[in-house]
Amino acid sequence: MVKITIDGIEIEVAAGTTILDAARQINPETAPPAMCFHSKLEGSGGKCRTCLVKVTKTSPSNPRPMPKLAPSCRTFVEDGMEVENNRSEEVLEARKGVVELLLINHPLDCPICDQAGECDLQNLAFEHGAETTDYQEERRRFPAKAIGDLIQLQMNRCILCFRCVYVADQLTDGRHHGVLGRGDSSEIGTYIEAAIDNDFSGNMIDVCPVGALTDRTFRFKSRVWFSKPMAAHRTCEKCCGNAVLWLKGNEILRVSGRRNDVGEVTEFICNTCRFDTKSLHLWEVEGPARISRDSVISQNHTPS
Amino acid sequence: MKPLTNRSKTVSNKTMTLMERLYLPAIVKGMAITLRHFFKKKVTIRYPEETRPFSPIYRGLHVLKRDDTGAERCTACGLCAIACPAEAITMDAAERKPGEERLYREEKYASTYEINMLRCIFCGLCEEACPKEAIFLTDRILPSGTTRKSFIWGKDRLVETESNRIDISKRHFYYKDEK
C-alpha cells in the first residue's frame, strides 16, 4: 500500500494504481475527467489528455515536481506523492485547452445527435470548456458510411479515443474495423465496406464517449431524457444479462449496459439482449436505474 | 370569546336610520356616480377593429419559423419540451429522406409537433431554449374554441406558410441586442 495526497486529501491505495483510479476512490465526482480511458478495457487511455493533473511532489526521496502535467490515467502512484487536480489553475487551464482542441473537429449538432444528454464530451465542455474558440478553419467532414443495420457511424463526431477498437479486440472474435489514415485524416472505418455483426459489437455504442457510434434501432426515436432508464436482467447464455432498459410507457426504446459512478459500462451485454429482446415480458425489471443528479435524464426520474 | 385572528369582524344587526330607510337619497347618490362616468374617458376599446399597442416582446401565440429558403428550422431536439414547465409540448422526430432538403433544414425534423394550448402558460421558455431559432411567441392572440381538441395545435397551424410569413423581427432584434 502507498500513500498519496490529491488536492490535500490523503488516501492509501495499492501499489500500481494510477492517479486517476486513486482520485476516483476518493470521490468519483471530483476525479479528473477522462474521455479515452475505460477501466474495463485494457490498454485504453493516454490519448485524449483530458485527465491531466499536476504532480507537485513525486515522492519524499524525489521532492521535485514532474516537469509537465501528467496524464493521470497512465501515471502510477508512488509513496508520498502529492498531486493537484482541481486546485491547480494550471490544470484547469490545460483542461480548457484540451476541450477546445477536442471540439475543433466536433460538429455542434447536439440538437440532432442521439447521444445528447448522455454525452461525455457535452458534459466535459459544459463543465470545463470555454465559451468561445479562436479556431476559424473548416471542420473536417466525412461522407456517411454504413457499417450494418445495428450501429450508426457518424465519423464527423468521432474524437478518436480508440475505445471501440479495444472493445472489438478484447470482447469480440475478430475485429473488422479500425482507425484508418494518419493525423488529420485518420478515421474509423472498415476499409472494405463490411457490416460489423458479431455478438458483442453493440458494446461499441456504449463505450463511445460521443455520438460517433449510436444505436441504429434507436435512431431519432426519442431524446434520451424523455425515456426512463430501468435496471433489468434476463437469463442469457451469452452474457451476464444485466442491462438498463430505456422505457417510454411500456415500450422498450433501447437497451444499454449498466454504468458505474463515472459513466463507464461495467457489464458488457450481447447483441441479443441489446437489439432482439425489446419486449417487457422478456425482462425482470428491478427498478429505476441510477442516474447522476446533474444529468438531464434525471428530470422526472426517481433513482433508486 | 377571543377571536382567532384580528381580521374577523363582528356582524351587527342594527336597525336602519331614517335617511337610510327613505331609500330615495341612496338611489340619487348611486345615479350620480353612474352619471359622472358618462363624461369620463372610456376604458374599453372596440376590439377587434381597434387593438392596443403590443410590447415587442409580447408572449402570444407560437409560430414555428421557416428559414430564408423556406425550409423548416425545427429539428425536434426536444429542448422546448424539457424546458416547458407546463409540459405542453410533445413531438416526434423523423429522418429526412433524400429529396426533402428543401423542406427541412437538417437531417432530422419534427414529424409531429403539438402544443396543448390549454396547458401552455405562455411563459416563453420554449423560445428561450430553442437552439435553432425555430419557435417564437408572437403578438397574435390565441383564438377561442369550443372543444378541447381544437386547442391542441399541430404543425398544420403552428408552422408559418411560405406565403404568409409571421414577422418576429422586432422580437428577434430584441434578443440579439440583449446578447
A273 shares its domain with A254: yes
How close, in Å, is residue A296 to chain B by CA atoms?
Answer: 9
- SS3 state at B162: coil
Question: Looking at residue B176, what is its pLDDT?
Answer: 55
CA pair distance A11, A64, nearest whole angstrom: 21
The total of other beta-carbon atoms located within 10 Å of residue B13's CB is 4
pLDDT in tens, A161-183: 999 999 999 988 888 888 888 88
Question: Looking at residue B9, what is its pLDDT?
Answer: 81
> What are the Cα distances from residue B35, in Å, to A28, B25, B39, B44, B120?
77, 15, 8, 17, 42
Q: Which residues in chain A have Cβ-Cβ distances shorter than 8 Å to B108?
A: 111-112, 220
Residue A219 contacts B where some CB pair is shorter than 8 Å: yes
- SS3 state at A110: coil
A123 shares its domain with A211: yes
H or E segment to which residue A153 belongs:
strand A151-153
A279 shares its domain with A241: yes
What pLDDT band is residue B174 in, cutting at 50, 70 and 90? low
A126 occurs within a structural domain:
yes
> What are the Cα distances from residue B136, in Å, to A97, A145, B76, B174, B175?
36, 36, 15, 12, 11
Smallest Cα–Cα separation from A50: which of A107, A103, A3, A110? A103
pLDDT over 80 (residue B179): no
Question: Looking at residue B161, what is its pLDDT?
Answer: 93
How many structural domains are present in chain A? 3
pLDDT in tens, B8-59: 888 888 888 888 889 999 999 999 999 999 999 988 999 889 988 888 889 9
What nine digits make up the cell of A245?
A: 432498459
- Domain boundary (A69, A101, A133) is at A101
Average pLDDT over residues A149-155: 91
What are the φ/ψ torsions at residue A22 (nearest 5 degrees)?
A: -60, -40
**Domain residues for A123?**
106-220
Closest residue of B to A111, CA-based?
B77
A117 shares its domain with A89: no
Return the sign of the alpha-carbon dihedral for residues B28, B33, B36, B42. negative
Residue B129 contacts A where some CB pair is shorter than 8 Å: no
A151 shares its domain with A173: yes
Give the best residue of A108, A109, A112 to mutate against chain B (max B CB count within 10 A): A112
pLDDT over 80 (residue A197): no
Smallest Cα–Cα separation from B70: which of B174, B172, B165? B165
Average pLDDT over residues B87-97: 93
Inspect the interface and report whether the beta carbons of A220 and B132 lie closer than 8 Å: no
- SS3 state at A260: coil
A215 shares its domain with A110: yes
Partner residues linked to B95 by β-bridges: B108
Q: Which residues in chain A have Cβ-Cβ distances shorter than 8 Å to B76?
A: 220
Question: Looking at residue A302, what is its pLDDT?
Answer: 62
- SS3 state at A118: coil
Residue B72 contacts A where some CB pair is shorter than 8 Å: no
Return the sign of the alpha-carbon dihedral for residues A287, A293, A295, A296. positive
A59 occurs within a structural domain:
yes
A230 occurs within a structural domain:
yes
Residue with cell 394550448: B117
Residue with cell 422505457: A247
Inspect the interface and report whether the beta carbons of A111 and B81 lie closer than 8 Å: no
Inspect the interface and report whether the beta carbons of A111 and B93 lie closer than 8 Å: no
A298 occurs within a structural domain:
no
Question: Looking at residue A280, what is its pLDDT?
Answer: 94
Kindly state the percentage of chain A with pLDDT values over 90.
73
A295 occurs within a structural domain:
no
pLDDT in tens, A210-232: 999 999 999 999 999 999 999 99
A147 shares its domain with A214: yes
Closest residue of A to B94, CA-based?
A220
Question: Looking at residue B51, what is its pLDDT?
Answer: 86
Average pLDDT over residues A88-101: 94
A297 occurs within a structural domain:
no
pLDDT over 90 (residue B158): yes
Residue B94 contacts A where some CB pair is shorter than 8 Å: yes
Closest residue of B to A216, CA-based?
B95
Inspect the interface and report whether the beta carbons of B78 and A223 lie closer than 8 Å: yes
Question: Looking at residue A291, what is its pLDDT?
Answer: 86
- Domain boundary (A101, A121, A152) is at A101
pLDDT over 60 (residue B61): yes
- Residue ranges and CATH numbers for the domains of chain B are 62-178 (3.30.70.3270)
Q: Which residues in chain B have Cβ-Cβ distances shorter than 8 Å to A111?
A: 75, 77, 79, 106, 108, 131-132
- Domain boundary (A101, A125, A148) is at A101
Q: How many angstroms separate the most distant Cα atoms in chain A? A: 62
pLDDT in tens, A240-267: 999 999 999 899 999 999 999 888 999 9
Partner residues linked to B153 by β-bridges: B115
Smallest Cα–Cα separation from A222: which of B130, B112, B155, B66? B112
Residue A111 contacts B where some CB pair is shorter than 8 Å: yes
Question: Looking at residue A300, what is its pLDDT?
Answer: 66
pLDDT in tens, B128-150: 999 999 999 998 989 999 999 99
Least confident among A147-151, A297-301, B53-57, B81-85: A297-301
Establish, for the pair of chains A and B, how many residue pairs have beta carbons separated by less than 8 Å. 34
Question: Looking at residue B147, what is its pLDDT?
Answer: 96
pLDDT over 80 (residue A304): no
Partner residues linked to A4 by β-bridges: A11, A81
CA pair distance B135, B69, nearest whole angstrom: 17
Residue with cell 476525479: A31
Question: Looking at residue A100, what is its pLDDT?
Answer: 94
How close, in Å, is residue B108 to chain A by CA atoms?
Answer: 6
Average pLDDT over residues A2-20: 94
A233 occurs within a structural domain:
yes
Amino acid identity at B113: Y
What pLDDT band is residue A42 in, cutting at 50, 70 and 90? very high
Question: Looking at residue B177, what is its pLDDT?
Answer: 52
Q: What ranges in chain B are assigned the alpha helix state H?
A: 18-22, 24-38, 79-83, 125-129, 155-158, 169-178
Q: Mean pLDDT over all residues of chain A?
A: 91
Question: Looking at residue A183, what is its pLDDT?
Answer: 86
Question: Looking at residue B6, what is its pLDDT?
Answer: 83
CATH value at residue A155: 3.30.70.20
pLDDT over 70 (residue A239): yes
